[in-house]
Structure 1
Amino acid sequence: MLALPKAMVDAVVAHARRDHPDECCGVIAGRDGVATRVFEMENAERSPTGFVFDSAEWLRVYRDIDDADEEPLVVYHSHTMTEAYPSRTDIRWSATAGFPHWLLVSTRSDEPEIRSYTIEDGVVTEEEVRVT
């Protein structure tokens, strides 16, 4: 189960809508499994079908998270033309990314679809998103 404050969910959805028709991406940091901050990142790929973190930006974000004694809990991104389900690329990237949770937002319709997953050894498991 992934628990997120409503303000964080709203921020992620707003980011996805703003970047549409390209995919958005970002990280949610936290401490002891509790989400504390959202880091909106630029999609260096600028693509409607994929995302890539800018390596310099990711290094700055990671250092900020580490300096605050937090950890990256969630990678989030949007899918602009498909449902909120991890793509084959997402599943491959998860093997090295090290994020416990994957939050996806589909912006293919007016009402965004928000779903979260764990991905371990290529196995995708949906988990509840509890908005607090």
Structure 2
Amino acid sequence: MLELPRALHDAMVAHARRDHPDEACGVLAGPAGSDRPTRHVEMLNAARSPTFYEFDSMEQLQVWRAMDDADEEPVVIYHSHTATEAYPSRTDVSLAQEPSAHYVLVSTADPDTAVVRSYRIVDGEVTEEPVSVVE
């Protein structure tokens, strides 16, 4: 199960809505080994696409180095789907390189209701997990 602090959940959803119709992407960082996200890192979708996201390689290097320096890790890697459900595409699965991360998708296909779902993606296998938003 992924426990998401309300502020981080809301920040991801706000980012997804703000970047719509392009996909948004980012990271929720947390103390290494804790499995607890504590910090939102909004990132640029270098693809600037409504159907694909790609971290800017230089920005990703800077973010990962900063997390390493702070003894943090990417607890959540998130992006949005703007016209489809919050389920990983084949491309999403092939790009999943952090086996300990939660992969969160935010669907903004319905402008009134953002749908947030979380997955573990390990060796190409996708497993959905419950999301609990906590205060």
TM-score range, shorter chain: over 0.9
Partner residue in 2 for 1:116: 118
Matches within 5 A, 1:1-132: 1-31=1-31, 32-94=34-96, 96-109=97-110, 110-132=112-134
Question: What TM-score, normalized to structure 2?
Answer: 0.94
Name the SS for the 1:77 alignment partner: strand
For residues 95 and 56 of structure 2, the distance between their equivalents in structure 1, rounded to whole angstroms, comes to: 15
SS at match of 1:63: helix
- Secondary structure of the residue aligned to 2:71 is coil
Q: Distance in 2 between matches of 1:28 and 1:99?
A: 13
Identity of aligned residues (%): 61
1:100 is displaced (CA, Å) by 1.8
Q: Which runs of 5+ in 1 are unaligned?
A: none
Structure 1: 4+ residue segments shifted above 2 A: 96-99
Equivalents in 1 of 2:86, 2:109: separation in Å?
9
For 1:38, give the aligned amino acid. Answer: H
Report the TM-score, using the length of structure 1 for normalisation: 0.96
Q: How many residues align?
A: 131
Tell me the CA shift for residue 117 of structure 1: 0.3
Q: C-alpha root-mean-square deviation of aligned residues, in Å?
A: 1.0
Counterpart residue type for residue 42 of structure 1: L
Q: Secondary structure at the match of 2:93?
A: helix
